[in-house]
Structure formats: C-alpha cells, structure tokens
Chains A and B, each alone.
Chain A
Amino acid sequence: MIGNTPRNHKIIALFLLGFSLFYFFGSFRLKMGTLKIPGPGLIPVVLGGLLVFCSGFYLYRVVFQNRRESMGKEGSAEGDKNYRAIAGVLACTLIYPFILEPLKFIIATFAAGFIMLFLLRPRRPLSSGFLALSLAVGAFLVFSRLFGVALPSGFLENLIFRIGG
C-alpha cells in the first residue's frame, strides 16, 4: 500500500500534476495586473506554471526513466506495516471534527481515544477504555481549567466543573 515504491511515486506524481493543473487554471480567474502594478494573480500564475512544468517533468521521470529500474520492484519497500492502526488513527482524526460539537468534548475525546487505543492494543479493551476516559477527563481539566481553552461543553463537562468547584 504505502511505501517508497515506483507505483506510489507514479500515484504521487499524478496527484501533484492534478493539483498543479487545478491551481494553474484557477489562478487565471485572478487579475494579473502589470509588472508596474502587479495584481493578486501574478504570483499564483507564475507558481502554477512552474508547478505544472515541474510535476509534469516529475511524472515523466517516474513513468519513463525509471521504467526499467521498477521492473520487478513493485511492492519491494512495502514492509510489514500495521495498516489497520494507520487507518484507525486517520479515521479518528477525520471523524473527530464532526463529533466534537454534537457529542461535546469529553465523550468525543473518549470515543476517539478509545478507538485508537483499541486498534493499537486490541487485547485490552477494558484498560483501553479506562485510559481513554482518563485521557478525556484529564485533557479537559488541563486544557479547560489550566490553559483556559474554551472547549465544547455539555452536561458532563459542567458536572466536572461543579465537582471541581
């Protein structure tokens, strides 16, 4: 899946070229101005042009120049990686923004923490749950009380505030 392989270089090169083209054509909507009075589009057009050229050249290099070298090398640098953990951590960071405000800080943080801990140490669900709860409550106390950060609060958060005085 993810490793320093020729196939992945090609995917990255394609993605970079796509981004470059999108940025380059998007920058034409902005006013270029003149050299005397440069507009907001001047630098984006120059950057976009360079990006298209460089990413195009990079794609050419990884597709054509490394073709011989890549023969038989596909997957050679994949290694024995824990993709379940990577996917889990990524999923948690992606889902967290969407559950933070509806579920409020402690439940959302507990959920994200528990899922990550459970994925990384699946044989210990109970201790993962306890650790995640401690992490959520501890983080709330430290960041909200100590650092004065305004975190989304509901019943649980208010209760902790009342207990804490």
Chain B
Amino acid sequence: MLEITQGLLGGFATALKPLYLYYALLGAVLGTITGVLPGLGPLGAMAILLSFTLSMDATGAMILFAGIYYGAMYGGSTTSILLNIPGEAASVVTCIDGYKMAQKGRGGAALTVAAVGSFIAGTISILGLMVVALFLSDIALRFGPAEFFAIGVCGLILLMRLSGGSLLQSFIMILVGMALGTVGVDFLAGTERFTFGNVELGQGIDFLPVAMGIFGIAEVLTTVAEKESLQTVQKVKMRDLLPTMKEWKRSIPAMFRGSFLGFAIGLVPGPSPVIATFVSYISEKKISKNPEEFGEGAIEAVAGPEAANNDAVGGAYVPLFALGIPFTPAMAMVLGALMLHGLTPGPNLIKEKSELFWAVIASMYIGNFMLIVLNLPLVNVFVSILRVPKNILMPVIVIICMIGVYSVNSSLLDLLMLALFGFIGYILRAVGFPVAPLILAMVIGPMIETSLRQALNITGGNIGDMIFRPICLTLYILASLTFAVPLIMKAIRKGKG
C-alpha cells in the first residue's frame, strides 16, 4: 500500500509538470475531436501521431496517448447523443437511448451523465490498473518463455473469438499478421527471411505504416467512397446540462456497475470497449425495474455503457504494462510508441521505469478531470467540428499520415507500405474481414515465436513440458473452453431446432 501511495504521489509530481499537463490537454482535445469525427477513432489518431511522439520523451508520449484514448471515448458519446452518429464503435450503444433522450429535450442531461459516468469509470479503472498491473507484474516476473508463449497464443485465440467476423476469417488474418511479423532478419539465428535482398526489409516490416495504412488510409478511402451528407448540428444550452434528481438516482448505480464490468472486460483480448458497452446495456436492461423504457430514452442505458467503455480503456492497459502484450489494436499503438523510445513493456518496465508507469497513471486521472471540465462547457464547439466538409478533412488526414510515416525512418519503402496496406485494409474491410487481428498478430507474433523457440530450447524439444505447467495448462484450458463452448452450444441449438 505504501508503495502504491508513494508511486502515485511521485506520478502526480511528474504529471503536474507544465509540459506533461500540456500533453495531457493536447491528448484530451485531440482524442475528443477524433471521437467526435465519425470513422477516425482513437486508433487512427494514435497511428497518425505515433511518429510525432519521437520529439517527446516516453512519458510525454504515453500521457498524450492516454489522453487520446480517453478523449475519444468522451467525444464519441457526444455525437451519439446529439446526432445519432457514433463517433467510434464503442459509442454505438449510446445512440439507442442517448439520441432518444436528445429528441425528448434531455440531450444535455444525457451528456452530463455520460461525462460523469466516464469520469467515475476512469477513476475506478485507474485504481484497478494500479492494483492489478502491480500484482500481475509481480507474478509475471516468475514467467518463463513457455508461459509467455501460452499467454500470446491464448490472447490470439480469444481475439479470434471476440473480434467479429467469421472465425475462419479472423484466423486467416491472425496467420497473415504473424507471417508479416516473420519478415526481416531472424535475430536468434541471424538469417534473412523474405527480404528478397532488400536491406530495408531486413529490419522487418515496420508496424507504423501497416497500422496507419490499415486504420488511417483505409478509413479515408471508406469515407471518401460515401457521398457527403450535411449534418444538422443541435445546440445544447448550459442550463439543460443538469440532470434531475430522479435521473441522478437512476444513473449513479448504473455508472458503478458499468465501471466494474468494463474493467473486467478490458482485461480480455479484443475490442473490449465495444464489448463492454453491449454487455453493460444488456445487463442494465435485465436488472431494470422499467425495461420497457430501454430504447425509448432510459438514462441507465447511457450511464452504464458510457462508464463501461471508459473503464475498459484502463483494463486494456493492464496486460500491456504487466505482461508487455497488447490485447487491443490501440494498445499495439501504445506498445509501438514505447518501442520507438527504446522501451520494452513487460513486468520489468513497472519496476525499472516506475516513474513512467506512475506518471501515466496520474496523467490519466488528470486527463479525465480535464475532459469533464472541458467537454461539457465546450460541447457545442466540439460538435461543430462535424461542419468541416469531409472532402477537405480527408486529404488533410492522408497528407498527415504520409508525413507521419516518412518522418520516422525517412524511408520511401515505408510510404509504399502505407499505400499498399491502405489499399489492402480498404478491400478487407469492404468484404467484411476483421483487420484488428492482423495488426495484433503482427505485433504479438514475433514475441510468440521467440518464446516458443526459447521454450523448446530450454525443455529440450519436449512439448509436454511446455504445456503441463500450472499456468500454461490453465491458460490452454480456458482458451479451449472459450473457443469450444460457443461452438458446442451452437451445435446443440441446431440439433434442437
């Protein structure tokens, strides 16, 4: 407990420095803007800004990214409630009842409940992150290559189950991502793999152009393909922002329920903020005394899911900080930013770079506070961003993506990769393939390969020794159940039908 208190105080001392406060504010504002803009999302913003974090130190980069992630969750709810447009996927559920509330003239109250819910959830998730990440990192220090291999494989299996699309499509994307991860010089043997004699490819396919192509350029292509539609932006008056006592009473318990649920779901691989909102919505409806109000403007249906999606953000940081494994595409971006600064996340990072860990935790809290102070009074300003025509915004995003990729290595090959993966990402999305597994597998793949080869070396090629270890066996059983149970249930239902 003393360690946590000391760490947190130290974190606040660092995060309250003017430069870091500026990064937290910048991240919160940029995140809100990307959350408001349909399509771009936190991932796109992180992808675009990844290369620019080079001019900051690692702590600054982490603070900026945390601000973007939280800000995007706040921003997404604004357009969902006022315009029935989910700025990002985690805000889809908020549209259902949030927009109904806006139509009934309670849009301001829905915004306040969403913001307060997000703040409470953010606080709970930070507390959870501190405790769980520290606990997990202590355990993870005892992990060997076999355990890390098991975690990586199980993570990918869970991701396959949860990422949407068909299982086969997800599995193919994971395999393609892992295959891309094998390109370059194998650092254990020093052998070139799939480089075709290209020196630049010897360093491997960089994560940044692939991620920016698949999420940034592909998103632009998807957006420009659709015809422009003008948005009618509603104004929210300050006096309408205050919920009634009855609305507070109904929403506060939902916020806490959503928070705990969101944090737990955030620990699981996959699009956790999105899943958390759906699970929260369904559970709120089940326990509600007035389930008939759901879909017609129930305030719990805004409070619960909004808290859940923010809390899932904190949960998603746990596996990254404690194990060094990103379980969501956004965390892969955070991992990319850490690696750009020469840091390898994992159990040792929390011990060796404790000032960074605690500064990020403290800045999350500061960022959440900034968001609630900024977003409610400035709600009309953020919503008015939607008035910028897409046909101006999209070329700007493409140019920023191109400069961003070029600025890291001054490599023309990276720019070509950006274009190539932009096209591939667009095609894959168009035919309904999930692209997140590809990116995550590309990042986790090399870690899985290294762990497997090290584990085989240690055990003398005995696969049984790798599987029948307590942690490994537990993980494999859990992953097998996650994979098999829904298939068995489906078969049973089919048999009955």
Whether the Cβ atoms of B398 and A38 lie closer than 8 Å is no
Whether the Cβ atoms of B398 and A8 lie closer than 8 Å is no
Whether the Cβ atoms of A93 and B419 lie closer than 8 Å is yes
Residues of chain B contacted by A50 (CB below 8 angstroms)? 175
Segment 1-43 of A: residues with Cβ below 8 Å from B: 2-5, 8-9, 12, 16, 19, 23, 26-27, 30-31, 34-43
Number of A-B contacts (CB under 8 A): 177
Cβ-based interface call for B205 (8 A): no
In the complex where A38-B452, A82-B226 touch, is A97 in contact with B407 (Cβ < 8 A)? Answer: no
Residues of chain B contacted by A82 (CB below 8 angstroms)? 224-227
CA distance A81 to B221 in the complex (A): 11
> Which chain A residue has the least Cβ–Cβ distance from B428?
A12
Cβ-based interface call for A133 (8 A): no
Residues of chain A contacted by B379 (CB below 8 angstroms)? none
Cβ-based interface call for B489 (8 A): no
User: Distance (Å) between the CB of A79 and the closest chain B CB?
Assistant: 8
Contact of B406 (CB < 8 Å), options: A3, A80, A100: A100
Cβ-based interface call for B203 (8 A): no
CA distance A139 to B175 in the complex (A): 38
Whether the Cβ atoms of A117 and B395 lie closer than 8 Å is yes
Whether the Cβ atoms of B453 and A42 lie closer than 8 Å is yes
Whether the Cβ atoms of B179 and A47 lie closer than 8 Å is yes
Whether the Cβ atoms of A89 and B191 lie closer than 8 Å is no
Whether the Cβ atoms of A54 and B431 lie closer than 8 Å is no
* Contact stretch, chosen from A68-76, A143-151, A154-162: A143-151
Instruction: Tell me the count of chain B residues lying within 8 A, CB to CB, of chain A.
Output: 62
> Which chain B residue has the least Cβ–Cβ distance from A54?
B172
Cβ-based interface call for A64 (8 A): no
Cβ-based interface call for A107 (8 A): no
Contact of A47 (CB < 8 Å), options: B182, B433, B453: B182
Whether the Cβ atoms of A40 and B176 lie closer than 8 Å is no
Contact of A93 (CB < 8 Å), options: B396, B398, B410, B460: B398
Whether the Cβ atoms of A54 and B186 lie closer than 8 Å is no
In the complex where A37-B457, A58-B168, A113-B399 touch, is A131 in contact with B225 (Cβ < 8 A)? Answer: no
Q: How does the 8 Å CB contact mask read for A121-140 relative to B, with 1 for contact and 0 for none?
A: 10000000001100100010
In the complex where A35-B456, A38-B453, A120-B391 touch, is A19 in contact with B419 (Cβ < 8 A)? Answer: no
Whether the Cβ atoms of A147 and B407 lie closer than 8 Å is yes
Segment 392-446 of B: residues with Cβ below 8 Å from A: 392, 394-396, 398-400, 402-403, 406-407, 410, 412, 415-416, 418-419, 422-423, 426-428, 430-433
Contact of B395 (CB < 8 Å), options: A34, A113, A147, A150: A113
Q: Which of A5, A51, A93, A135 has the most CB atoms of chain B within a 10 A radius of its CB? A: A93
> Which chain A residue has the least Cβ–Cβ distance from B220?
A89
CA distance A35 to B332 in the complex (A): 30
Cβ-based interface call for B178 (8 A): yes
Residues of chain B contacted by A135 (CB below 8 angstroms)? 395-396, 399
Whether the Cβ atoms of B427 and A35 lie closer than 8 Å is no
CA distance A16 to B438 in the complex (A): 13
Cβ-based interface call for A92 (8 A): yes
CA distance A83 to B188 in the complex (A): 46
In the complex where A48-B179, A55-B172, A139-B399 touch, is A30 in contact with B191 (Cβ < 8 A)? Answer: yes
CA distance A8 to B432 in the complex (A): 11
CA distance A92 to B416 in the complex (A): 11
Segment 42-61 of A: residues with Cβ below 8 Å from B: 42-44, 47-48, 50-51, 54-55, 57-58, 61
Whether the Cβ atoms of B225 and A86 lie closer than 8 Å is yes
Contact of B225 (CB < 8 Å), options: A81, A94, A97, A148: A81
Residues of chain A contacted by B186 (CB below 8 angstroms)? 40
Segment 176-202 of B: residues with Cβ below 8 Å from A: 176, 178-179, 182, 186, 188-189, 191, 193-194
CA distance A94 to B416 in the complex (A): 6
Contact of A147 (CB < 8 Å), options: B52, B168, B419, B430: B52
> Which chain A residue has the least Cβ–Cβ distance from B51?
A149
Residues of chain A contacted by B224 (CB below 8 angstroms)? 82, 85-86, 89, 120
In the complex where A51-B172, A83-B225 touch, is A139 in contact with B403 (Cβ < 8 A)? Answer: yes
In the complex where A16-B172, A40-B189, A47-B179 touch, is A8 in contact with B431 (Cβ < 8 A)? Answer: yes
Q: Which of A9, A12, A37, A50 has the most CB atoms of chain B within a 10 A radius of its CB? A: A12
Q: Which of B55, B426, B430 has the most CB atoms of chain A within a 10 A radius of its CB? A: B430
Residues of chain A contacted by B407 (CB below 8 angstroms)? 143, 147, 149-151
CA distance A48 to B180 in the complex (A): 11
Residues of chain B contacted by A23 (CB below 8 angstroms)? 179, 194
User: Distance (Å) between the CB of A17 and the closest chain B CB?
Assistant: 10
Q: With A35-B456, A143-B407 given, can you name 14 additional A-B contacts, CB distance below 8 Å?
A: A2-B427, A36-B461, A54-B172, A54-B175, A57-B168, A94-B416, A96-B415, A97-B416, A109-B403, A116-B398, A117-B391, A120-B395, A143-B52, A143-B403
Q: Would you give 8 A-B contacts (Cβ < 8 Å), ordered by A?
A: A31-B189, A35-B461, A38-B457, A82-B225, A89-B221, A116-B394, A135-B396, A151-B407
Chain A to chain B: the 8 pairs with minimum beta-carbon distance, closest first: A35-B461, A120-B391, A36-B461, A97-B415, A116-B395, A40-B186, A93-B419, A149-B407
Q: Please report A residues at the B interface, Cβ cutoff 8 Å.
A: 2-5, 8-9, 12, 16, 19, 23, 26-27, 30-31, 34-44, 47-48, 50-51, 54-55, 57-58, 61, 80-83, 85-86, 89-90, 92-94, 96-98, 100-101, 109, 112-113, 116-117, 120-121, 131-132, 135, 139, 143, 147-151
